[in-house]
């Protein structure tokens, strides 16, 4: 059976995924599934930078505003819903797009690694954990150079997992990953957006200022007043910092400063996740004619996978 082509647009917060995804979906007759773990919640609009109906520009969007902040929602639910939506979008004659920055959610949809079930050994893992990243990477290079090439010394947990897989199964982490990718019913093209760090951080700080002007404080207070505390919606960046202010533990200015710092750190973690765990084609959004370059990339991909 031919695989369903899926265009996936990822990247850090505030990099410009929404605007580009609308343009690409229009060009290629696509429909968009949100790959953001916070935008599923009703009422959390400003703090999650939720796309507005006007910004959607007629392009259908899914998995936005589908559950209450009090209700559980996780990667397994997202995976099930997204698989169903991808098939439905494809069967309707459209191209499925997934757009967002929640790496775990997107990874859960595209790959279903059986090597996650390979048993571990606490003693073996702890022994490896004592070694520096460069040494671990050197060990992996000897037994699985393909995985070593894709991983970084600053990601020791992932390197240790790859070494564990080889140690206990005798198989290469990269081979098992490749087998799972081949077994998937989807053929993904992963497009990653990035920009120079200082420019991205300045954009993040500006976005927080705009959110505050748009009413983030009032939105967070409405969530605070529900009494919800230990749920994922409350732990989201943009809400947990302002909850600290509502609790009287810091000033509003300090809470906003913390929100900006946490947003910048989150962007860095997003980039690290996608670079270390997924085969992403990266594009600097500030490069000239970048939309034309990405359009060509998608067109070439669909020509191979769809006969576009």
Per residue in 170-192, pLDDT (tens digit) is 777 766 665 555 557 899 999 99
To the question of whether residue 16 is assigned a binding role by annotation, the answer is yes
Every domain of the chain with CATH number 1.10.20.140 lies at 114-178
Structure tokens at 115: 């090597």
- Residue 174 near residue 146, CB atoms below 8 Å: yes
What gap in Å lies between CA 146 and CA 85, rounded to an integer?
A: 33
Mean pLDDT of 258-271: 96
Mean pLDDT of 239-259: 98
Which of 3 and 160 is assigned the larger pLDDT?
A: 3
pLDDT at 100 over 80: yes
**Which of 77-91, 124-138, 172-186, 199-213 has the lowest average pLDDT?**
172-186
Q: What is the pLDDT of residue 172?
A: 78
Q: What is the pLDDT of residue 43?
A: 95
**pLDDT class of 147 with cuts at 50, 70, 90:** confident
What gap in Å lies between CA 106 and CA 236, rounded to an integer?
A: 18
**pLDDT class of 120 with cuts at 50, 70, 90:** low
**From 3.20.20.140, 3.30.1490.120, 1.10.20.140, 3.40.50.720, which CATH number describes the 114-178 domain?**
1.10.20.140
Q: What is the pLDDT of residue 67?
A: 96
Sheet holding 281-284, edge to edge: 61-62, 30-34, 95-99, 4-10, 186-194, 281-284
Q: What is the pLDDT of residue 115?
A: 42
**pLDDT class of 6 with cuts at 50, 70, 90:** very high
Which backbone phi and psi does 85 adopt, to 5 degrees? -65, -40
Every domain of the chain with CATH number 3.40.50.300 lies at 4-112+195-306
**pLDDT class of 117 with cuts at 50, 70, 90:** very low
Q: What is the pLDDT of residue 12?
A: 96
Q: Residue 238, by phi and psi: left (phi above 0), alpha (psi -120 to 50) or beta?
A: left
Which of 112 and 14 is assigned the larger pLDDT?
A: 14
Which backbone phi and psi does 296 adopt, to 5 degrees? -65, -40
**Which of 36-40, 61-65, 117-121 has the lowest average pLDDT?**
117-121
To the question of whether residue 12 is assigned a binding role by annotation, the answer is yes
In the chain, % of residues over pLDDT 70: 89
To the question of whether residue 11 is assigned a binding role by annotation, the answer is yes
**pLDDT class of 255 with cuts at 50, 70, 90:** very high
Which residue from 240, 176, 193, 179 is spatially nearest to 12, judged by alpha carbons? 193
Q: Which fold has domain 4-112+195-306?
A: Rossmann fold (3.40.50)
Mean pLDDT of the chain: 89
Mean pLDDT of 74-101: 95
Q: What is the pLDDT of residue 180?
A: 55
To the question of whether residue 17 is assigned a binding role by annotation, the answer is yes
């Amino acid at each position: 059976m031919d695989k369903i082509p899926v265009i996936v647009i990822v990247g850090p917060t505030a990099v410009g995924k929404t605007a580009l995804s609308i343009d690409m979906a229009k060009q290629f007759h696509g429909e968009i599934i949100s790959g953001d773990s916070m935008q599923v919640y009703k009422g959390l609009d400003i703090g999650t930078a939720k796309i507005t109906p006007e910004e959607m520009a007629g392009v259908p969007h899914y998995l936005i505003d589908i559950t209450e902040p009090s209700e559980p929602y996780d990667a397994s639910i997202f995976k099930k819903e997204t698989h169903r939506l991808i098939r439905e979008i494809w069967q309707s004659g459209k191209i499925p797009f997934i757009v967002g920055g929640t790496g775990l959610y997107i990874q859960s949809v595209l790959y279903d690694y059986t090597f996650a079930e390979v048993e571990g050994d606490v003693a073996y893992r702890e022994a490896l954990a004592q070694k520096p990243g460069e040494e671990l990477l050197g060990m992996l290079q000897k037994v699985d150079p393909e995985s070593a090439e894709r991983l970084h010394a600053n990601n020791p947990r992932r390197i240790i997992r790859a070494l564990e897989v080889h140690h206990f199964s005798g198989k290469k982490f990269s081979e098992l990953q490749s087998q799972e990718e081949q077994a998937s019913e989807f053929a993904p093209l992963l497009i990653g957006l990035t920009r120079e760090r200082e420019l991205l951080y300045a954009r993040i700080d500006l976005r927080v200022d705009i959110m505050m002007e748009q009413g983030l404080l009032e939105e967070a207070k409405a969530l605070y007043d529900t009494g919800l505390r230990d749920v994922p919606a409350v732990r989201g960046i943009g809400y947990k910092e302002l909850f600290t202010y509502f609790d009287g533990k810091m000033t509003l200015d300090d809470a906003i400063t913390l929100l900006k710092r946490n947003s910048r750190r989150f962007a860095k973690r997003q980039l690290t996740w996608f670079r270390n765990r997924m085969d992403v084609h990266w594009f600097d959004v500030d490069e000239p004619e970048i939309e034309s370059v990405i359009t060509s990339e998608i067109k070439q991909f669909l020509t191979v996978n769809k006969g576009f």
